[in-house]
Amino acid sequence: MNSKIADRIATGIFTSLALIIVAVLVALFSFILIRGVPQISWEFLTTPSSTVREGGGIRDQLFNSFYILFITMLITVPLGVCGGIYMAEYAKPGKITNFIRSCIEMLASLPSIVVGMFGLLVFVNTTGWGYTIIGGALALTIFNIPVMVRVSEDAIRTVPPEQKEAGLALGITHWHTIKTVLIPSAFPGILTGAILASGRVFGEAAALLFTAGLSTPRLDYLDLNPFSETSPLNIFRPAETLAVHIWSVNTNGIMPDIREIANGSSAVLVLSVLVFNLLARWLGSIVHKKVTASK
Amino acid sequence: MMASTITIEPQTNKNKKREIDKQKDTILEIKDLSIFYGDNQAVKHATFDIDEHAITALIGPSGCGKSTFLRGINRMNDLIPIARNEGQIIYEDINLLDKNINTIALRKEIGMVFQKPNPFPKSVYNNITHALKFYGKRKKKQLDEVVEESLRKAALWDEVKDRLHESAFSLSGGQQQRLCIARTLAMKPNVLLLDEPSSALDPISNAKIEELILQLKEDYSIIIVTHNMQQASRISDKTAFFLNGSVIEYDETEKIFTNPAHGKTEDYISGRFG
């Protein structure tokens, strides 16, 4: 077989594989959106859910999803970036560093249900908090930190070493160089990692079942005191997220419009992730442009 | 009588001064310097004095230790965990290789420009003010002045004065390298270490950098690593020839290039190896 034919065959195989992937994605998205989008209405998004009656919405679940995402990222990003800085800049190559790296990789491949059970044991029972937002956020942090550390480390490592040398050769300290030269350069990579982690938080159900719970107390959205029991901002209240809601409606829902609620919620979930990604990237590029003065 | 002595006196002084000019002061004394990477000795017992307000060129084939030597002076080798020094580098009566030396302050005093232009991914202006801000200069007027002064010294001001707030990456390679020089000058160093500063640039940018280096000699002591023999002979006052980590010959550039004492130096500069 001559190499020209081999090249054509390879090109053909890779193109068709790519097409299959795109086709699956398009099919999945259109299935979810075609079934779900007609269910979405202002009312659906702004009424609380109902366990027995028809016409329940997803107001609280939608809020909970974003709120848990926010709290999780508030813990995950600083810890993950610090871990990444340590691994990329301070850890001396050797057995201990390799051991830490293996631990991080193992943690990254932990099934989320195991993280959920661990969360139940530690953040729900041992602490005596019960099902709480903070418990869910901490469980998701465990779940996401390995990814965040890994991505941050890689992002910092891909900054050309000349940049670091430039900082140090000007008489700037190592830490200041990390802070003002390496992190801004690594920012797009770190942002991508944070967005990936957010997607996982948004879609996660198993780890939250046992930590943030399957219910939401009656919430008063005008009550902004984070210590009040009815405040949506209270981090010591149970909170069912959208992904958990889809699971629970499908498995033990007794309302008559289970299909509609599940379809609508799925579409909202997918669209939320999409909107969140686009927003984060847009904001990220604005920040990056501002810092690097690029156009 | 009196009048004649007064007229004679300054003359002898002038003559003396000329002699002193010829016999330049030493800025760096290299004493038996050896640098190791693990078991590999990259610089072997280098001993020579580097003149103040002069350009010293370090030449030699790739891997001969000249860059390692240069990076030993501002302790950039400290970044490499397996690197180790022996001997002394004396600067203003202190040994730069002393463990207790504040390398941060040292690098401010002895600036370095690298082979590949490495501006920060920031605006032209912020590239220069970045390190100044770290040292506490924050007043806009003061920073503006330093930016203009350093860009003028680096012969870049006229080309970039209207685009100070554009990304440094939008400049050409030669401009980026002059920006890196300006950024180093803004720290008001005494010594400039240049590691093949124009080898990655086109001939016109190269010529501009060379011209600039010659101007900078007035105010700074410059040590330049170069692979370009013409460059070394054009701009430097003294030249050190490195081979396999040893300084084979160190002398006035003119002497090295016209009448080298060592056969290997002659072989190298005439292009027989390296």
Pairwise CA distance, residues A43 & B144, whole Å: 57
Does residue B81 belong to the interface with chain A, where contact is any CB pair within 8 Å? yes
Whether A27 and A45 share a structural domain: no
CB contacts of B184 in chain A (<8 Å) are: 169-170
CB within 8 Å of A163: residues ≥ 6 apart: A181, A182, A185, B118, B120, B121
- Within 8 A of B166 by CB-CB distance, chain A residues are 293, 295
**Residue ranges of A 181-210 with Cβ closer than 8 A to chain B:** 181, 184-185
| pLDDT score at B4 | 36
Contact of B150 with B185, CB cutoff 8 Å: yes
Same domain? A166 vs A226: yes
B26 in a domain, yes or no?
no
Instruction: Write the CB contacts of B104 (distance below 8 Å, at least 6 apart in sequence).
Output: A171, A172, A173
Does any domain span residue B34?
no
Of the candidates B123, B125, B130, B121, the residue with the CA atom closest to the CA atom of residue B166: B123
Structure tokens at B130: 């970045």
Q: How many domains does chain B have?
A: 1
Does residue B169 belong to the interface with chain A, where contact is any CB pair within 8 Å?
yes
Alpha-carbon distance of A39 to A201, in angstroms, equals 24
R_g of chain B, CA atoms, integer Å: 20
Dist. CA B54–CA B57, nearest whole Å: 10
Is A129 in the same domain as A156? yes
Domain coverage including residue A11: 1-31
Beta bridge partners of B41: B36
The pLDDT tens digits of the residues spanning A209-226 come to: 999 988 888 888 888 888
The count of domains in chain A is 2
Structure tokens of B38? Answer: 């693990």
Our CA-based measurement puts residue A93 at a distance from the nearest CA of chain B, in whole angstroms, of 10
Residue A121 and residue A237 in one domain: yes
Distance from CA of A130 to the nearest CA of B (A): 48
| Whether A189 and A128 share a structural domain | yes
Q: Are residues A96 and A209 in the same domain?
A: yes
Q: How many CB atoms lie within 10 A of CB B70?
A: 20
Domain that holds residue B250: 55-75+100-269
Is residue B105 included in any domain, yes or no?
Answer: yes
pLDDT per residue of chain B (274 residues) written in tens, 0 to 9 = 343 333 333 444 444 444 445 557 899 999 999 999 999 999 999 999 999 999 999 999 988 999 999 999 999 999 888 999 999 999 999 999 998 899 999 999 999 999 999 999 999 999 999 999 999 988 999 999 999 999 999 999 999 999 999 999 999 999 999 999 999 999 999 999 999 998 888 898 899 899 999 999 999 999 999 998 999 999 999 999 999 999 999 999 999 999 999 999 999 988 877 6
Distance (Å, rounded) from C-alpha B178 to C-alpha B159? Answer: 11
Query: Under an 8 A CB cutoff, do A181 and B120 touch?
Result: yes
DSSP summary character for residue B167: B
Query: In this complex, is the C-beta atom of B122 within 8 Å of any C-beta atom belonging to chain A?
Result: yes
pLDDT in tens, A143-197: 899 999 999 999 999 999 999 999 999 999 999 999 999 999 999 999 988 988 8
Are A172 and A179 in contact, with CB atoms under 8 Å apart? no
Q: Considering the domain boundaries, does residue B227 fall inside one?
A: yes
The one-character DSSP state at B241 is E
The complex's ipTM? 0.84
Q: Do B76 and A181 touch (CB under 8 A)?
A: no
Per-residue pLDDT of A252-263, as tens digits, reads 888 888 999 999
Q: Which positions ≥6 away from B5 have C-beta within 8 Å?
A: none
Query: Same domain, yes or no, for A288 and A240?
Result: yes
B48 within domain boundaries: no
The Cα B65–Cα B99 span in angstroms is 22
d(CA A245, CA A62): 10
A165 touches chain B (CB under 8 A): yes
Q: Are residues A233 and A272 in the same domain?
A: yes
For residue A31, how many other CB atoms are within 10 A of its CB?
A: 12
CB pairs under 8 A between A and B: 82
DSSP per-residue string spanning B14-78: HHHHHHHHHSPPEEEEEEEEEEEETTEEEEEEEEEEEETTSEEEEE-STTSSHHHHHHHHTTGGG
Which 3 state secondary structure label does DSSP give B237?
A: coil
Length of chain B: 274
pLDDT of residue B247: 94
Give yes or no for a contact between B225 and B194, defined as CB atoms under 8 angstroms apart.
Answer: yes
Contact indicator for A268, A164 with CB cutoff of 8 Å? no
Q: Are B257 and B239 in contact (CB under 8 A)?
A: yes
CB contact B80 to A (< 8 Å): no
pLDDT confidence of residue A80: 95
| pLDDT number for residue A289 | 87
CB contacts of B72 in chain A (<8 Å) are none
Cα–Cα dist B274/B264, whole Å: 11
- Is A290 in the B-facing interface, judged by CB distances under 8 Å? no
Tell me phi and psi for residue A179, to 5 degrees: -65, -40
> Quick check: is B107 in a domain?
yes
The single-letter code of the amino acid at B204 is I
For chain A, list residues with pLDDT below 70: 1, 295
Residue among B232, B239, B225, B235 nearest B194 (CA): B225
Same domain flag for A1 and A147: no
Give the relative orientation of helices A133-157 and A59-85 as an angle to the nearest 10 degrees: 40
Regarding whether A137 and A261 lie in a shared domain, the answer is: yes
Same domain, A17 and A49: no
Looking at the structure, do residues A156 and A182 belong to the same domain, yes or no? yes
B153 touches chain A (CB under 8 A): no
Q: What is the 3-state secondary structure (H, E, C) of chain A?
A: CCHHHHHHHHHHHHHHHHHHHHHHHHHHHHHHHHHHHHHCCHHHHHCCCCCCCCCCCCHHHHHHHHHHHHHHHHHHHHHHHHHHHHHHHHCCCCHHHHHHHHHHHHHHCCCHHHHHHHHHHHHHHHCCCCCCHHHHHHHHHHHHHHHHHHHHHHHHHCCCHHHHHHHHHCCCCHHHHHHHHHHHHHHHHHHHHHHHHHHHHHHCCHHHHCCCCCCCCCCCCCCCCCCCCCCCCCCCCCCCCHHHHHHHHHHHCCCCCHHHHHHHHHHHHHHHHHHHHHHHHHHHHHHHHHHHCCC
The CATH number assigned to the domain holding B138 equals: 3.40.50.300
Tell me whether residue B95 is in a domain: no
Q: In Å, what is the CA distance from B31 to each residue of A253, B36, B47, B68, B218?
A: 84, 16, 5, 16, 26
Q: Which amino acid is at A272?
A: S
Q: Give contacts of A185 with chain B, Cβ < 8 Å.
A: 121
Distance of alpha carbon A156 from alpha carbon A178, whole angstroms: 9
Q: How many CB atoms lie within 10 A of CB B174?
A: 21
pLDDT for B14: 44
